[in-house]
Structure 1
Amino acid sequence: MLVVPGPGFRSSGRWKKFIFSSCPSFSRPIPPPPPSLRFLTSLQRISVFVDLALSSQIHRTVSHHLPNMATATTTETRSRKANGSANGVLKTKAVEYPDIQTIRDAIPAHCFEPTVLHSMAYVVRDLTMAGVLGWAAFTYIPQISDSIVRGLAWALYGYLQGLVLTGVWILAHEAGHGAFSKHQNFNDVVGWVLHSALMVPYFSWKFSHHRHHRFTGHMEKDMAFVPATKEDRQKRRLADLYLDRELFEDVPVVQLVKLLLHQLAGWQMYLMFNATAGPASKQREGGWLRVSHFEPTSAVFRPSEAIYVLITDIGLAIVAYCLYLASTVVGWKTVFLMYGQAYFWVHHWLVAITYLHHTHPDVPHFDAENWTFVKGALATVDRDFGFVGRHLFHGIIDTHVVHHLFPRIPFYKAEEATEAIKPVVGDLYRQEKGSFLGSLWKTFTTCKYVEADPNEPGALKWAESN
């Protein structure tokens, strides 16, 4: 008789054997399948289970500067004991969230002053590196006679060019926030050109990203990586198929496939379907097919923003036509090797950076009644990516907390601003020094859903992994 193991069985580690062999010592029998599934063969049922397991990760389908708030908020916060038990003993203590003006006053005034010369110097530097890499690859790699070595050389080029162009993406991101210069029209021209060159919808993303900053950590209105709740998870259990999805979720190969899909398709899913955004993030009524970042009348945007979305689409169309013209000269294969590889690497880094900034076992989310701007902005994590993070990615990984508090601080002054706010925010400042890519795997496989935090009313903490 086929049986379903209980929770203790799964946590003991023996569940892995269950997938490949029966376990008669566990005695909860499976009722017969519903009539709608009885006609399926065993192989077809397995296919259904795997498809549903793989589909669980991506779910849900203004101004970004909040006015100064002079009200401090007292709450309970969680922290793990430095020398706690293996289970991570928790302790609680009352802390006070400082108001936004107090934090701002701690930062030197010059940190809020971008300059055109300084910012444009980085644009010239990054575009020069991208141009040199592209020229070298186009000129020398085709001359390599050995096909394996030539393929490896193209792969290395794609990786390196992806790093450089991610830096270009970040500079356009600075322009979108108004941190590139004091001149907003100039910022928008620079951002539109750079993002369009990377096939990124500049104004569309600018609007939705501003709302992400405005409502960071808000379980209903945040625009990016709003986690599933315990209730969401229970609703999605495979009760009608009489099999617990957790049997699949913890299988390493399933986790790896889901992570690859997350990294390769996550950005496109967000742009097309508003994936991972909160249920109240839309600006007007519209079905799940009316939330694209490319549609001027999308529910993601206000009516007044439609013209800018159209300008965004024009920029993308120009670049797409240029790629087509290039393909008529050098062929689509060369266009993919020169441009397509870097395109996917940029999206990989973009998804990884954003995901890890807002997903961490110690980072809470908040319900609508208890969320505040400061709580949300401090519910982020600074991480370390070494030389690449500091120099090629312009410190966006290392100084993201202060960036969420004050997005108009230029990246080349964010490190000084970060040091200035640390004494003010105290333990509310979060930093992770571990391996960036190692953290991506660990976070993706452990931070699966949030549940109410009994130590902090209105907060939702990441559930402990089994």
Structure 2
Amino acid sequence: MERVAPPSSKELIARTRPFAVQDVARSGWNLAATYAALAAAVTLAVAAPWWPLRVVGGVLEALVLIRAFILFHDAMHGALLPSSRWAKVLFQVQGILTLTPARIWNDTHNHHHANTARIAADSAGTFATWTTEQWRKASGWQRLGYAVERHPVTILFGYVTAFLISLCLVPFVKDPKRYWTSGLALGVHVALSVALWVFFGPAVYLFAFVGPLLLAYALGTYLFYSQHNFDEVRILPEGQWTHADAALEASSYLRCGKVMAWFTGNIGYHHVHHLNPRIPFYRLPEAMAAIPELQNPHVTTLSPRDIVHCLRLNLWEPSLGRMVRYRDANVRAWAARADVPPRSAVSSEGHAVS
């Protein structure tokens, strides 16, 4: 049989455009349902008479916050209610309250979409990824900064590291005129924290505010990290980079059940989203089902085993075409100096490091 050539990047993107059309009623319903679920979860976390129910309310609040963030994220891409003035105001307010001011979010996230899987690009809006050669040439302080940025503890406390610091404090300090909304978000957040503690007590502050935020932002930061940091990720040389390849080869598909897909706003269809970010979140499964080239993605899950494995992938090794651990880079450097074939070294996961 004659082999059919794969579509070009432009052709593949063009085939996604019919799905980048929203249903206004469906968008409005999803927005109303999400905010109603959030209000119900907050009420349970605040007013439940039994503390275990308040914990349940806080966990549900954290999960719904992730979904609410995905709606904000879609709106910033112009995929959700782009012509609605009231929706624009609503999402601007949501961004302030959830530590994702629209200005800094758009600046960094658009950069991320334009530079996914580009080693040479600035890492603004994403987690930096170095090659093993960059790691070996870096100074001790540079290595420390890289390791801290990608450390599991940094991801676990994404509420502080990614949101309070990276999206609010740092941009406001660097450019207060452009990123004044980041300063506003920080100020509002501090004021809310103090008010909740003083007027409602530490229990409400813990169960309905800081606890859900810690959980939501830990999971959200991990999702963002893992969707471009997985075992089968491919980072192409600059001359071979295309938008479609970056979407399909450097963005994963998170396989999860329908309940978790609802809470995460279908962000697990990340390869489809990166191919065309103007597709509303509720049409991502439809696009994947209709386009054959999107049906063989790199799959990740939220199983403990996959999470641990993902967090152990630290550096890109071009000669292997895969991510490796820090110690694998050191093994390869030692083998090269000793003139030992590096294929003799094997990583802890059983993969040859060459």
Alignment of 1:135-154 (within 5 A): 135-141=43-49, 144=50, 150=51, 152-154=52-54
- Could you say which residue in structure 2 is the equivalent of 1:465? 347
2:255 pairs with one of 349, 372, 384: 384
Q: Does 1:292 align with 2:192?
A: no
2:306 pairs with one of 392, 416, 439: 439
Q: Counterpart amino acid of 1:465?
A: S
**Are the equivalent residues in 2 in contact too, given 1:216–1:376 (CA < 8 A)?**
yes
Equivalent position SS for 2:240: coil
Q: Deviations over 1:122-143 (max 9, x none)?
A: 22212211212222232224xx
**Are the equivalent residues in 2 in contact too, given 1:192–1:203 (CA < 8 A)?**
no
Q: Counterpart amino acid of 1:121?
A: W
- Could you say which residue in structure 2 is the equivalent of 1:160? 60
Change (3 A) 1:411 1:192: same
Equivalent position SS for 1:324: helix
Q: Counterpart amino acid of 1:325?
A: A
- Could you say which residue in structure 1 is the equivalent of 2:319? 453
Q: Does 1:430 align with 2:297?
A: yes
Change (3 A) 1:237 1:203: closer
2:208 pairs with one of 316, 333, 338: 338
Q: Counterpart amino acid of 2:215?
A: W
Change (3 A) 1:133 1:347: same
Alignment of 1:392-411 (within 5 A): 392-397=263-268, 399-411=269-281
**Are the equivalent residues in 2 in contact too, given 1:167–1:394 (CA < 8 A)?**
yes
Equivalent position SS for 1:450: strand
How big is the shift at 1:96?
6.5
CA distance in 2, matches of 1:296, 1:97: 45
Q: Does 1:310 align with 2:192?
A: no
Q: Does 1:196 align with 2:103?
A: no
Scaled by the length of structure 1, the TM-score of the pair is 0.60
Change (3 A) 1:128 1:270: closer
- Could you say which residue in structure 2 is the equivalent of 1:39? none
**Are the equivalent residues in 1 in contact too, given 2:119–2:130 (CA < 8 A)?**
no
Q: Deviations over 1:96-142 (max 9, x none)?
A: 76333311333362x2112443223222212211212222232224x
**Are the equivalent residues in 1 in contact too, given 2:169–2:182 (CA < 8 A)?**
no
Change (3 A) 1:274 1:102: same
2:36 pairs with one of 105, 124, 128: 128
Change (3 A) 1:95 1:451: farther
How big is the shift at 1:95?
10
Q: Which runs of 4+ in 1 moved over 6 A?
A: 94-97
Alignment of 1:35-434 (within 5 A): 98-107=7-16, 109=18, 111-141=19-49, 144=50, 150=51, 152-183=52-83, 188-221=88-121, 222-223=123-124, 224-235=126-137, 258-259=151-152, 261-266=153-158, 268-270=160-162, 292-295=170-173, 297=175, 306-307=177-178, 309-378=179-248, 379-397=250-268, 399-421=269-291, 423-424=292-293, 429-432=296-299, 434=301
Q: How many residues align?
A: 315
CA distance in 1, matches of 2:211, 2:129: 30
Equivalent position SS for 1:358: coil
**Are the equivalent residues in 2 in contact too, given 1:384–1:434 (CA < 8 A)?**
yes
Q: Which runs of 5+ in 1 are unaligned?
A: 1-93, 145-149, 239-244, 250-256, 276-289, 299-305, 455-459
Q: Identity over aligned residues, as a percent?
A: 20
Q: Counterpart amino acid of 1:129?
A: A
**Are the equivalent residues in 2 in contact too, given 1:119–1:180 (CA < 8 A)?**
yes
Q: Counterpart amino acid of 1:131?
A: A
CA distance in 2, matches of 1:184, 1:216: 30
CA distance in 1, matches of 2:119, 2:245: 12
Equivalent position SS for 1:365: coil
Q: Counterpart amino acid of 2:323?
A: W
Q: Counterpart amino acid of 1:140?
A: A
Q: Deviations over 1:50-80 (max 9, x none)?
A: xxxxxxxxxxxxxxxxxxxxxxxxxxxxxxx
**Are the equivalent residues in 1 in contact too, given 2:117–2:246 (CA < 8 A)?**
yes
**Are the equivalent residues in 1 in contact too, given 2:62–2:215 (CA < 8 A)?**
yes
CA distance in 1, matches of 2:45, 2:219: 22
Q: Which runs of 5+ in 2 are unaligned?
A: 325-345, 349-354
Q: Counterpart amino acid of 2:263?
A: L
- Could you say which residue in structure 1 is the equivalent of 2:335? none
Scaled by the length of structure 2, the TM-score of the pair is 0.77
How big is the shift at 1:153?
4.1
Change (3 A) 1:273 1:449: farther
CA distance in 2, matches of 1:188, 1:119: 13
Q: Deviations over 1:277-331 (max 9, x none)?
A: xxxxxxxxxxxxx992334628xxxxxxx54x21343344335434433333112
Rg comparison, structure with higher value? 1
Change (3 A) 1:434 1:319: closer
Q: Deviations over 1:209-247 (max 9, x none)?
A: 111001111112243123232124434698xxxxxx9xx
CA distance in 1, matches of 2:36, 2:69: 14
How big is the shift at 1:272?
7.0
**Are the equivalent residues in 2 in contact too, given 1:362–1:461 (CA < 8 A)?**
yes
CA distance in 1, matches of 2:59, 2:76: 26
CA distance in 2, matches of 1:365, 1:433: 17
Q: Counterpart amino acid of 1:269?
A: T
